[in-house]
Amino acid sequence: MYAMLPPPNLLAAKTPHLIGMATDHAGYALKEHLKGKLCEAGYEVIDFGVLRPQPDDDYPDFVVPLARVLSHHEIDRGIAICGSGVGASIASNKVAGVRACLIHETFSAHQGVEDDDLNMLCLGGLVVGYALAWELVLTFLSARFSGEERHRRRLAKVAELESIR
């Protein structure tokens, strides 16, 4: 049988304030832009790197530490960026408790949180422009998990898959 998640009132419904960010060289410019916008908007940002991009740096070296901190609930939400966003998403989802998704449109940015308790937004630094990326980040951060029983039931099934690893 599937383990159940805590009741909705115990799930993280607070406004996210502490945001972790990570990227490789291909997403560095977008990360820096978004980090500045987030700080201006009153969010606290922890930067997991890359701090000085090098052409041979690898996204898992920065994204996985972010995912681990997120999985331990030491930050509220995560934003991972690589060239396409695909690698950042794949690497992040290898960490149990992380629900990361590559998002390039606003519906999924809020629906992923509302229905699937998405906690990490992945973006393609070579794919989305600054304006759209900022809109996606704001949409992601303002969304809340619904806590509906059907969504909790589905997430419990995902959590069971993670325990098999």
Give the residue, 85 or 11, on which the prediction is more confident. Answer: 85
Token digits for 47?
A: 């930067």
Overall CATH class of domain 14-164: alpha beta
Dump pLDDT digits (tens) for 109-128.
999 999 999 999 999 999 99
Average pLDDT estimate for 134-144: 97
Average pLDDT estimate for 53-67: 93
pLDDT over 80 (residue 16): no
pLDDT at position 14 is 57
Dump pLDDT digits (tens) for 64-94.
999 999 999 999 999 999 999 999 999 999 9
Residue of 39, 82, 101, 122 marked catalytic: 82
pLDDT at position 53 is 84
The answer to whether 100 touches 78, Cβ cutoff 8 Å, is yes
pLDDT over 80 (residue 13): no
pLDDT over 50 (residue 6): no
Q: Is 122 a catalytic residue?
A: no
pTM of the complete model beyond 0.85? yes
Domain boundaries, the chain: 14-164
